[in-house]
Amino acid sequence: MKYEFISNTNLENNGNLYRYIENGFKKAKSFCFSVAFINFAGVQIILDILKKSEKHNIKGKILTTNYLHFTELKSIEFLKRFKNIEVKFFDSDKMEGFHTKGYIFEYDDCYKAIIGSSNLTKSGLKSNIEWNTAVTTEKNSDFIKGVLNEFNYLWEKGVENVNPYIVSYVKKEEIVVRKKVRDEYFLAAEDHEFGIYKESDIKPNYMQEMALKNLETTRMYGEKRALCIAATGTGKTYLGAFDVKAFKAKKMLFIVHNEDILKSAMETFKNILPEKTMGFFTGNIKNVDRDYIFATIQSLNNRYHEFNEYEFDYIIVDEAHHITAKSYEKVINYFKPKFLLGLTATPERCDGGNIYEIFHMNVPVEIRLQEALDRELVTPFHYYGVKDISEVNLEGIDLNDIAAVTKALNLEKRVDFIVEKMNFYGYSGERRKTIGFCVSIEHCEYMTKEFLKKGIKAATITGNHGKDLREDIIKKFKNTQDLEVIFTVNIFNEGIDIPCINSILMLRPTASPIIFTQQLGRGLRHYQNKEFLTVIDFIGNHSRAFLIALALMGRKGYDKESIKIAVKRDFDNLSKSIHVKMEEICKKEILKQLDNENFNSLKYLKAEYDEFKDY
């Protein structure tokens, strides 16, 4: 016999239990799983593995239970889709408790049994502190005979009709998440849809506590400006409201470049400072007599002289990476606040100049995506890099030639493939709420038309739509079952907060790590019943596919070998809360491009600048 100790804390060699199970399927003839608990997150991350087992006709039996009513019905429904897998339930309400955790693989000349503490959940397979032992043994050993005899005994007591024996814990989970939202403060800009809370109900989260403490220290040293950097979804707007309250600002100006952000920002401030009068300063509304004014930079640019230069004692610039644009220069130079706060998730993304210099190099907090995930400030994500269909040929096409890229992508066969993958991977939550990022308005409209033909409730939102129409579509998307998918281009890259988004389709070639990260961020806000975000990226045969690797790494400046190792290991060193799986053909192409890429060249950085400069 051969024994191996498996711990999720050890990423060397084969690594966590997920890796052992993935390797266990290679050359297997059959498998048997006996696990007390199964959730959809655990099933989703092994769907690709199970699909391969079906292709190779590897017969499988999975036994679970209704013990403690933990197992999710949705996970069983997905397992039963595979023709090679039988699923049974052990009724622990009628019999004794059931708490087994075992994964058994049969090979031509041996068995491998992995027995220990891990259930078929994502945390059990990848992140929890678990102890498991893998035993490889001859087929006639007493050990494997005993294991198989016990499994077969329980299997015979199991039932196939699972519905009477399982209680979905959606309602229980909803209560837990709502409590988590309130107690630990995961509220984001538009989470006020849960209801307006009393000020005392909302407490700062980890990022906000750190920033507030450091902002106070910054001001003690006489500084009048600061830039707070935090990943999308961590609560930057609430941070601004908390600090304005701590500052005891009598007059406050909140500046953004996008009018869509203003309404949710005002609601956030109302939750924290309900005693203050608040109003807008936009193209159509000029509430100049309010305590706190929420303004677009476009409106201020033309009429900032209507205010006294000392009018506001506190000014916030949201999406502050835009502050180096000329539209901000006159406004920022004119006003003389007692304190100026910048908020951004992507300080690298700026139109020119140096954003850090504008804020006097004061950065009280910097929490990037990896730390935000580890601190549970945002929802984890499962990323699936899927090779696009062969009919989509982007080789030789300039990705800046939007018309040519659109023509290459607008294929009925590709739509069928996208729908197939959406249904295969599913989503976390009760209802599908998907954003599809497209390359052009024409691409958005084509995808919407084709989805509607297939009976999928879809809509398009682009810059061509008026503000009222955009708001109506978003409201319908958030609050009803009448809209499942929104296809968009550019306008959802930043500033739009829709916490219910539980899946994202990357339908355009990745030409910028920053744009990729911002689009990913649209789905990272916590929401009831959303355990994780599903991201499906359709990777084509274009020369910049390697930028996906840079985006997933979360920052620039990595050496080539570090990036290549991360690609080979599915980025398992980034965060235990995420899951990344690329098809092997995509990995090979990305690794090839990384080998050929000159990381001392600025060509792709220039491409990012060109893409952003007109925003």
Residue 176 pLDDT:
45
- Tell which CATH classification among 3.40.50.12280, 3.40.50.620, 3.40.50.300, 3.40.50.1100 matches the domain 379-612: 3.40.50.300
Mean pLDDT for the stretch of residues 294-302:
93
| Residue 163 pLDDT greater than 80, yes or no | no
pLDDT at 495: 63
Residue 85 has pLDDT above 60, yes or no: yes
CA dihedral 154, 157, 161, 163 (to 10 degrees): -70
Same topology, domains 199-372 and 379-612? Answer is: yes
Q: Is 74 helix (H, G, I), strand (E, B) or coil?
A: helix
Residue 494: band (very low, low, confident or very high) from pLDDT cuts 50, 70, 90: low
pTM of the predicted model, to two decimals? 0.88
Q: Where are the domains of the chain?
A: 2-168, 199-372, 379-612
The one-letter amino acid at 550? L
Among 198-207, 318-327, 370-379, name the one with the lowest average pLDDT: 198-207
Residue 611: predicted pLDDT: 47
Label residue 257 by pLDDT band (50, 70, 90). confident
Contact 450, 415 (CB under 8 A): yes
The pLDDT of residue 172: 44
Min mean pLDDT across 158-162, 432-436, 529-533 is at 158-162
User: Is CATH 3.30.470.20 the right assignment for the domain spanning 2-168?
Assistant: no
DSSP for 299-328 reads HHHHHGGGS-TTS-SEEEESSGGGTTSHHH
Q: Is the pLDDT of residue 221 over 70?
A: yes
d(Cα 238, Cα 269) in Å, to the nearest integer? Answer: 7
- The DSSP string of 6-48 is EETT--STT-SHHHHHHHHTTT-SEEEEEES-B-HHHHHTTHH
Tens of pLDDT, residues 336-368: 999 999 999 888 654 445 789 999 999 999 998
Q: Using one digit for the tens of pLDDT, what is the confidence trace for 23-50?
A: 999 999 999 999 999 999 999 999 999 9
pLDDT at 450: 98
> Which residues fall within 8 angstroms of residue 312, CB to CB, at 6 or more apart?
249, 251, 252, 253, 293, 335, 337
Q: Which pLDDT value is given to residue 423?
A: 97
Q: What is residue 69's predicted lDDT score, i.e. its pLDDT?
A: 78
171-193 pLDDT, tens digit each: 444 434 433 433 333 333 333 33
Please give the pLDDT value at position 94: 64
Average pLDDT of 372-397? 93
> Using one digit for the tens of pLDDT, what is the confidence trace for 141-152?
999 999 999 999
Q: Rg (Cα) of the chain, in Å, rounded?
A: 26
Q: Percentage of the chain surpassing pLDDT 70?
A: 87
Q: What pLDDT shows up at residue 192? A: 35
Q: What is the DSSP letter of 69?
A: G
% of the chain residues with pLDDT over 90: 65
Check whether 287 has a pLDDT greater than 90. yes
* 605 pLDDT tier (thresholds 50, 70, 90): low
Whether domain 199-372 has CATH 3.40.50.300: the reply is yes
SS3 track for 332-382: HHHCCCCEEEEEECCCCCCCCCCHHHHCCCCCCEEECHHHHHHCCCCCCEE
Three-state DSSP class for residue 104? strand
User: What does pLDDT average to over the chain?
Assistant: 87
User: What are 585-599's pLDDT values in tens digits?
Assistant: 999 999 988 888 876
Residue closest to 315 by CA, chosen among 223, 251, 402, 238: 251
Q: How confident is the model at residue 501 (pLDDT cuts 50, 70, 90)?
A: very high
Task: Say if residues 16 and 8 touch (Cβ distance below 8 Å).
Answer: yes
The full 3-state SS of 155-202, as one line of letters, equals: HHHCECCCHHHCCCCHHHHHHHHHHHHHHHHCCCCCHHHHCCCCHHHC
pLDDT at site 601 = 59
Provide the pLDDT confidence category of residue 95 given band limits of 50, 70 and 90: low
* Contact (Cβ atoms closer than 8 angstroms) between residue 426 and residue 534: yes
pLDDT of residue 558: 60
- The tens digit of pLDDT for each residue in 406-421 reads 999 999 999 999 999 9
